[in-house]
């Protein structure tokens, strides 16, 4: 046994954590039952996204697709529409593909088997552990950034938690500590502890149910943990987005099916650093076969992704001639624009149509 694990009375740790969880657990819609499909949907939505943001999306999604059957039968566009605004849209596409497989291969029953679950699209070790423990009560660790933070403090791990061997070490601690009787509550308790008490900044150690087991707190170094290499600064890319209206219709464009915001719709964007302000009209005609005149600037939108910033000047443009035979763009009625899934930055531009 690792020397660090020896300092903890495992039984007492579980007792303290689970007693606290029993009294303080957050009421979340996916906790109303242990339906593995709902646990799965919630865990995919919660990746990179806060609980408060996810709740209304989850409720809407489950109303529309209450079981794997309804989700599997939906079109990709319908699924993306329900995900609109949540970001990281490949999560939705992978979930959709994986649920189709569950319907085809397993009669709509989410497998309770680690190997089968692990082969489904978008189900990585974290999601697999979360489904197996929360829905099927199996003692599987579910380690995300929150769990890494809590455990790096509990065991005073001063190495970089983004490194593989350090993650493995933390996983071994979770495996030692996880309750065999109630792994579902154990993993959810750690998630709640990380979200409400052992928060990234200013952890509330005096209120923490496991503070007497915590090496980081004992040595007063909890706020310096976890150690993590700094993320690279995001690069800013500038665009001009064009709002091109003709009577009650407007031009929109479908993004490519690979890469950032794949398959979502947007107002056409000009990569302005390459094209230059004076050549927008010429470039647009060459690219899409639509002759336009640039009009006034309507505003600016900045959108921050994890690795990139979009700085978009939004302009109105008049359509002079439309010989469009480009399959990417489409002229749609302005009152039907809400049928198409748009990323957040372009949803904001709808105010100008
Ligand atoms: Fe986190 Fe403090 Fe609790 Fe340790 S005592 S687990 S640092 S909140």
Question: Following DSSP, what letter does each residue of 286-331 receive, concatenated?
Answer: HHHSEEEEEEEEEEEEEEE-SSEEEEEEEEEEEEEEE----TTEEE
pLDDT tens string 148-197: 999 999 999 999 999 999 999 999 999 999 999 999 999 999 999 999 99
CB–CB of 143/124 below 8 Å?
A: no
pLDDT digits over 207-225, tens only? Answer: 999 999 999 999 999 999 9
Q: How many CB atoms lie within 10 A of CB 103?
A: 18
- 15-74 confidence digits (pLDDT tens): 999 999 999 999 999 999 889 999 999 999 999 889 999 999 999 999 999 999 999 999
> So what's the pLDDT on residue 217?
97
Mean pLDDT confidence for 77-102:
96
pLDDT of residue 323: 76
**What's the pLDDT score for residue 233?**
86
154 lines ligand 1 (CB under 6 A): yes
DSSP symbol at 261: T
Contact 253, 242 (CB under 8 A): no
Residue 214 near ligand 1, beta carbon < 6 Å:
yes
> Is residue 232 very low, low, confident or very high in pLDDT (cuts 50, 70, 90)?
confident
Mutual orientation of helices 90-106 and 36-46 as an angle, nearest 10°? Answer: 160
Nearest CA to ligand 1 atom 2: 205
Distance of CA 227 from the midpoint of ligand 1 (Å): 15
- Whether the bond between 313 and the residue before it is cis, its omega within 30 degrees of 0, is no
Residue 347 has pLDDT above 90, yes or no: yes
Over residues 265-313, the pLDDT tens digits come to 999 999 999 889 999 999 999 889 899 999 999 999 999 998 999 999 9
CA of 255 to the centre of ligand 1 (A): 45
pLDDT of residue 4: 65
Give me 193's structure tokens. 């502890």
Measured between alpha carbons, how far is 209 from 19 in angstroms, rounded to an integer? 9
Q: Provide the token pair at 241.
A: 């987005």
CB-side exposure of 336: number of CA atoms within 13 Å?
9
Element (H or E) spanning 332, and its range? strand 329-333
pLDDT at residue number 2: 62
pTM (predicted TM-score): 0.85
249-254 vs 265-266, strand pairing mode: antiparallel
Site to probe by mutation for ligand 1, drawn from 13, 173, 211, 221 as the one with most ligand atoms within 8 Å of Cβ, is: 211
Write out pLDDT tens, residues 188-203. 999 999 999 999 999 9
Q: Give ∠ CA 308-309-315 in degrees, rounded to 5.
A: 140
The atom of ligand 1 lying closest to the CA of 153 is 7
Whether the CB-CB separation of 91 and 122 falls below 8 Å is answered with yes
- The whole-number pLDDT of residue 282 equals 92
Residue 211 Cβ contacting ligand 1 at under 6 Å: yes
What was the pLDDT predicted at 3? 64
pLDDT band of 330, cuts 50, 70, 90: very high
Strands (E), 182-286: 235-246, 249-254, 265-266, 269-271
pLDDT at residue 83 is higher than 80: yes
Residue-level pLDDT at 104 = 98
Mind listing the pLDDT tens digit for each residue in 90-124? 999 999 999 999 999 999 999 999 999 999 999 99
Residue ranges in the chain assigned as alpha helix (H): 10-24, 36-46, 51-64, 68-73, 76-83, 90-106, 114-118, 125-130, 145-154, 164-177, 183-196, 215-218, 272-275, 280-288, 344-349
pLDDT at 5 over 80: no
Q: How many CB atoms lie within 10 A of CB 166?
A: 19
Position 231 pLDDT exceeds 90 = no
Q: Which of 297, 341, 338, 292 is nearest to 317 (CA)?
A: 292
Question: How far apart (Å, rounded) are the C-alpha atoms in residues 66 and 100?
Answer: 14
């Amino acid at each position: 046994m690792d020397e660090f694990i020896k300092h903890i009375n495992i039984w007492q740790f579980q007792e303290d954590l689970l007693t606290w969880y029993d009294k303080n657990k957050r009421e979340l819609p996916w906790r109303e039952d242990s339906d593995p499909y709902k646990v799965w949907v919630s865990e995919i939505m919660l990746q990179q996204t806060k609980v408060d943001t996810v709740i209304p999306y989850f409720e809407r999604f489950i109303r529309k697709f209450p079981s794997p059957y309804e989700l599997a039968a939906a079109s990709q566009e319908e699924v993306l529409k329900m995900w609109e605004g949540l970001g990281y849209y490949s999560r939705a596409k992978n979930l959709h593909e994986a649920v189709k497989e569950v319907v085809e291969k397993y009669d709509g029953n989410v497998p309770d088997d680690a190997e089968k679950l692990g082969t489904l699209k978008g189900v990585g070790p974290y999601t697999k552990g979360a489904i197996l423990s929360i829905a099927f009560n199996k003692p599987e660790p579910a380690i995300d950034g929150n769990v890494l933070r809590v455990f790096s403090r509990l065991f005073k791990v001063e190495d970089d938690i983004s490194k593989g061997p350090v993650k493995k070490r933390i996983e071994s601690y979770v495996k030692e500590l996880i309750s065999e009787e109630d792994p579902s509550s154990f993993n959810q308790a750690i998630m709640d502890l990380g979200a409400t008490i052992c928060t990234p900044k200013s952890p509330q150690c005096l209120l923490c149910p496991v503070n007497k087991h915590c090496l980081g707190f004992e040595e007063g170094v909890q706020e310096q943990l976890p150690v993590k290499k700094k993320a690279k600064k995001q690069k800013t890319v500038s665009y001009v987005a064009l709002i091109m209206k003709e009577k009650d219709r407007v031009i929109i464009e479908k993004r490519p099916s690979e890469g950032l915001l794949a398959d979502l719709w947007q107002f056409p964007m000009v990569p302005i650093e390459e094209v230059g302000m004076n050549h927008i009209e010429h470039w647009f005609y060459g690219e899409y076969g639509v002759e336009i005149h640039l009009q006034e600037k309507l505003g600016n939108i900045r959108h921050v992704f994890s690795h990139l910033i979009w700085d978009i000047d939004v302009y109105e443009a008049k359509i002079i001639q439309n010989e469009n035979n480009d399959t990417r763009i489409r002229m749609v009625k302005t009152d039907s624009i809400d049928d198409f899934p748009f990323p957040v930055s372009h949803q904001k531009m709808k105010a100008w149509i």
